[in-house]
Amino acid sequence: MGTWSTALFSDDVACDVRDDFVELLSRRVSPAEATAALLRSWSSDIDDEDDGPTFWLALAATQWKYGCLTDEVRDRAMEVVESGRDISRWGGASATRRKAVLLALKEQLLSPQPAPRRPRRRKAIVVPSIKVLSPDGRGLATAFELAASTDPDGPCMQVMVELLVGESRGGGGVFVADCEFDKVSLDWLDAEALQISYPASATVGSRQTSLFYFGRIIQIIYRTTGT
């Protein structure tokens, strides 16, 4: 999982849940059918200690925005807020900021929803990126440019690793930094180890040392370049 700030959608899982739901609505799928589809496709993540709370918070916020928040999804999100389950993975000042984010979301979810609406079908966006396939052909590392942030010190790029294990495909973010994506190089040392080289001057927002997916573990090794 990649998380780069305490904001609700500064998180890979939250962004993916939001985007999946919005994409279904834009295809004229009903909100009920879209919700059911997400519950099926995200079933394993919903049971995860970290990703489960994020799923319900993101889905509730997105449903409210489009005027289709259900009682069940609202109650699930409210339980996450009131139980403190999400706050427990944060520490220090970050926990205080995250709590403020969740309290604001709680107030929003309890307020009247906007009129129901459907998003416009989005055009495909080509994201500048560099992709490197693993030696066994079953791993793909991608360094890509993030959308511009309102925070001038916000991250500029991210590295994702996608794995194919049997018939299952998935993975997640392993590295986030404030440098240009093409200043980062990706090198598979072998099928189980990826080296990420980045400028020493870059401010790192997130740096995972390994990625686990369906029993397969990829070690992430880092090297700084320049000054």
Asked whether residue 208 falls in the same domain as residue 148, the answer is: yes
pLDDT in tens, 124-150: 666 789 999 999 988 999 999 986 655
Does residue 154 surpass a pLDDT of 70? no
Asked whether residue 145 falls in the same domain as residue 203, the answer is: yes
Task: Identify the domain containing residue 90 by its residue range.
Answer: 12-109
Query: How far is Cα 173 from Cα 120, in angstroms, rounded to an integer?
Result: 28
Does residue 1 surpass a pLDDT of 50? no
Is 191 a member of any domain? yes
Going by their DSSP bridges, the two strands 168-177 and 157-165 should be labelled as antiparallel
Average pLDDT across the chain, whole number:
89
Query: Considering the chain, what percentage of its residues have pLDDT values greater than 90?
Result: 62
pLDDT in tens, 181-223: 999 999 999 999 999 999 999 999 999 999 998 889 999 999 9
Asked whether residue 56 falls in the same domain as residue 26, the answer is: yes
pLDDT, position 153: 60
Average pLDDT over every residue of 80-103: 89
Does residue 4 surpass a pLDDT of 50? yes
Is 1 a member of any domain? no
Asked whether residue 57 falls in the same domain as residue 18, the answer is: yes
Asked whether residue 134 falls in the same domain as residue 219, the answer is: yes
Per the DSSP assignment, residues forming a β-bridge with 45 are none
Contacts (Cβ under 8 Å, ≥6 apart) of 33: 24
Whether 172 contacts 12, CB under 8 Å: yes
Asked whether the CA dihedral 201, 205, 144, 120 is positive or negative, the reply is negative
Asked whether residue 85 falls in the same domain as residue 148, the answer is: no
Is 96 a member of any domain? yes
Average pLDDT over every residue of 60-66: 96
pLDDT, position 56: 96
